[in-house]
Copies of this chain bind each other. A is one copy, B any other.
């Protein structure tokens, strides 16, 4: 009787592609950084600013990983830098095979540096080597200072930790968040979703949430 170790097999196939990517990058002397963070930590904003401010000094290409949409690749392409969008179609990380096809589509010979912007996720991408030179983890101030303790793997494996949004540290600020856009997009996906803006910190809006809970408990009991 066979005992097939599926987890290992999938990882090995990934490792073969990772080794291929790593060889290609080493042969051509290219730096390749795998950018990993939670959704909304500012990876794309960091890349856009980095590309713009290093123009004429470092030639940068980007492989953009997203579950869906090409919002991020378009933001990168607006800088003039070459960007390849890869949609993982639901998967929570980029694979080395996807990066391999991304590297083929970039004008690699002309570049000094390839950024891989991984899917927004602190967990899964840390387990999949892509053949990159190094991992860079981005943690943004509003996510909280407990994240290295709670999600240790990616912090243990990264060469650099960028702590982003330090303008929010104890300063006066305004967050660019269009409440109507988020509501409209959520309603497009789900007509019946209940949307409750709250602040668990100040208590604003929490009464509506409590009312929803009380009604939901009543409904369960009357079923």
Q: Residue A205 at the B interface, CB < 8 A?
A: yes
Q: Is the CB of B199 within 8 A of A149?
A: no
Q: Is the CB of B31 within 8 A of A216?
A: yes
Q: Is the CB of B177 within 8 A of A50?
A: no
How many copies of this kind of chain does the complex include?
2
Chain A 140-189 interface residues, beta-carbon cutoff 8 Å to B: 140-153, 155-179, 181-183, 185-186, 188-189
Q: Which one of A11-19, A100-108, A119-127 contacts B?
A: A119-127
Checking B121, B147, B156, B174 against A170 with a beta-carbon cut-off of 8 angstroms, the contacting residue is B174
Which B residue sits closest to A92, measured CB to CB?
B123
Checking B71, B134, B150, B177 against A216 with a beta-carbon cut-off of 8 angstroms, the contacting residue is B134
- With contacts A150-B67, A170-B174, A220-B31 known, is A196 near B122, CB below 8 A? no
- How many of A's residues come within 8 Å of B, CB to CB? 111
- With contacts A169-B179, A182-B139, A210-B54 known, is A198 near B164, CB below 8 A? yes
Checking B133, B155, B202, B205 against A190 with a beta-carbon cut-off of 8 angstroms, the contacting residue is B155
- With a cutoff of 8 Å between Cβ atoms, the chain B residues found around residue A202 in the complex are 167
- With a cutoff of 8 Å between Cβ atoms, the chain B residues found around residue A194 in the complex are 159-161
> What is the 8 Å Cβ interface bit string for chain A, positions 42-75, against chain B (1 contact, 0 not)?
1001101110011001100000001111010000
- With contacts A58-B214, A194-B160, A221-B29 known, is A143 near B39, CB below 8 A? yes
Q: Is the CB of A145 within 8 A of B38?
A: no
Q: Residue A6 at the B interface, CB < 8 A?
A: yes
Q: Is the CB of B140 within 8 A of A142?
A: yes
A190 to B120, CA, bound (A): 22
Chain A 191-220 interface residues, beta-carbon cutoff 8 Å to B: 192-206, 209-210, 212-214, 216-217, 220
Task: Beyond A49-B203, A142-B143, list 16 extra A-B contacts (CB 8 Å).
Answer: A38-B120, A38-B143, A39-B150, A68-B150, A92-B121, A121-B124, A145-B178, A155-B186, A155-B189, A159-B193, A160-B193, A162-B197, A163-B183, A167-B202, A169-B175, A172-B173
